[in-house]
Structure 1
């Protein structure tokens, strides 16, 4: 379905609203994943690569891998805590 132009009358029906919301959610999820990957790459590169060259050394490669693992672990903890908090707030 094409949402670039509104339907006649400018109003969406229930199914169209649902489809639009799902598209928006998917786009937000992709943007969030891209932002996470970009931040993780930037932070780990700055932490692990002191003098960039044409290739990464073994210790730099290990450092980046460990940094990215820790970053993802931390992000998952924060994400779970945030989701739980939102659920608690909704149940009040």
Structure 2
């Protein structure tokens, strides 16, 4: 009986890693969706003053530029955060 519980716990350990990976992937997708939603909301509010059935040329350009700036800003923030985190980790290791 100990043998079956031992193999069962090994299986559980392997499955646990698989579940953790799945949860990480789901969180990444959810965060990307949230980012896209926030970006869309902010850029729409900024660029579309008179909502209608379609976007005119200036609204399309404004939204495209707004989304580009938003993504650039998010990338800068992510790189800066990562760099500072690495600096802190190296200080703690020294």
The TM-score with structure 2 as length reference comes to: 0.79
| Runs ≥4 residues deviating over 3 A | none
**Structure 2: which 5+ residue stretches go unaligned?**
1-7
Q: Which residue of 1 aligns with 2:68?
A: 69
How many Å apart are 1:85 and its aligned residue? 2.4
RMSD of aligned C-alpha atoms? 1.7
**Structure 1: which 5+ residue stretches go unaligned?**
1-7
TM-superposition CA deviations, 1:27-64 (whole Å, max 9, x none): 11000000000000000000000010111110000000
Q: Distance in 2 between matches of 1:48 and 1:34?
A: 21
Q: Which residue of 1 aligns with 2:12?
A: 12
Structure with the higher fraction of residues in helix conformation: 2
Question: What secondary structure does 2:69 align onto?
Answer: helix
Q: Which residue of 1 aligns with 2:56?
A: 57
The TM-score with structure 1 as length reference comes to: 0.80
